[in-house]
Amino acid sequence: MERRRSFQAEAIGHLYLVPTPIGNLDDMTFRAVKTLKDADLIAAEDTRNTQKLLNHFEIETKQISFHEHNTQERIPQLVAKLQAGMQIAQVSDAGMPSISDPGHELVNACIDAHIPVVPLPGANAGLTALIASGLAPQPFYFYGFLDRKPKDQRSEIDSLSQRPETLIFYEAPHRLKKTLQNLATGFGDDRPAVLCRELTKRYEEFLRGSLAELAEWAATDTVRGEFVVLVGGNPAPTTTATTAVDLSEPVEVQVDRLIAAGDKPNAAIKEVANLRGLKKQEVYRTYHHLDEE
């Protein structure tokens, strides 16, 4: 009863999007701890990982798994619970929900069902790395993970090569070497870049240099930890990398417009997916009319 009163005993539930620390548990906010304690249920990307956080802050709220492999199954269940008046907090393993992590589809489902969505501010790896990188902090362009397939990744990099903003990518350690090589090939060896790993942790590290220098480091050193990769923007773009997209247009028109501007099809599909907040596979299926079959 005490927990329900803290939410003013509202008839309809709220979805609370709660950021979690990206390394240092001291970065957990008072509001985030209180929200997780007061919630009726926590939807967690990995319940085992989140349980460690809950134990640290003596949070006893029950969890339910919510990750990329059970999204379609879980969303109707969570929406029904919210409509019944439950207060649900959604967390990913680290950082902001929905930013290269689960959450976006649930947010849209709640919006469609007229369920209030409440975002909490907190830790984010991309911005944390940006402000200490030494590269221009604004404007910046957050891209997240590049495609894992080499051919598609090269197409994406090619479509980004003329952007003047500081670019922010995420990358796993076992893919870092090849990704840096592709970035150096697509953007030029001399483009300034920064590698950030172990952010907010004891062995936090920033490696600064040209893309060629960082690619050489990754090829000769033991690469550990998740990375934020920041790349300086093109100081003298020769073409406009991305044509402005009108979100009121159909997906097919947007993709065709980007292809006409010089993007490769896969890069255009991912760009439209990013701009519309959709999964790349959704845009791919819509563009190729696969859902009509």
Q: What is the DSSP letter of 95?
A: B
In degrees and rounded to multiples of 5, residue 77 shows phi and psi of: -65, -45
Residues 6+ apart with CB under 8 A from 131: 137
User: Hey, what are 148's tokens?
Assistant: 């894992």
| Residue-wise pLDDT tens digits, 85-140 | 999 999 999 999 999 899 999 999 999 999 999 999 999 999 999 999 999 999 99
Nearest to 234 by CA among 152, 169, 151, 159: 159
CB-based contact 43:106 (threshold 8 Å) = yes
Helix (H) / strand (E) element for 42: namely: strand 41-44
Task: Quote the pLDDT of residue 4.
Answer: 46
What's the angle, vertex CA 114, arms to CA 109 and CA 119, rounded to 5?
A: 70
Task: Quote the pLDDT of residue 260.
Answer: 76
pTM of the model: 0.77
Helix H segments across the chain? 2-6, 30-38, 47-56, 71-83, 104-112, 125-133, 150-160, 173-187, 211-220, 251-260, 265-276, 280-287
Locus of tokens 């209180």: 34
Task: Quote the pLDDT of residue 224.
Answer: 87
Nearest to 100 by CA among 133, 121, 73, 124: 124
**pLDDT bucket at 209, cuts 50 / 70 / 90:** very high
Task: Quote the pLDDT of residue 241.
Answer: 46
Task: Quote the pLDDT of residue 246.
Answer: 64
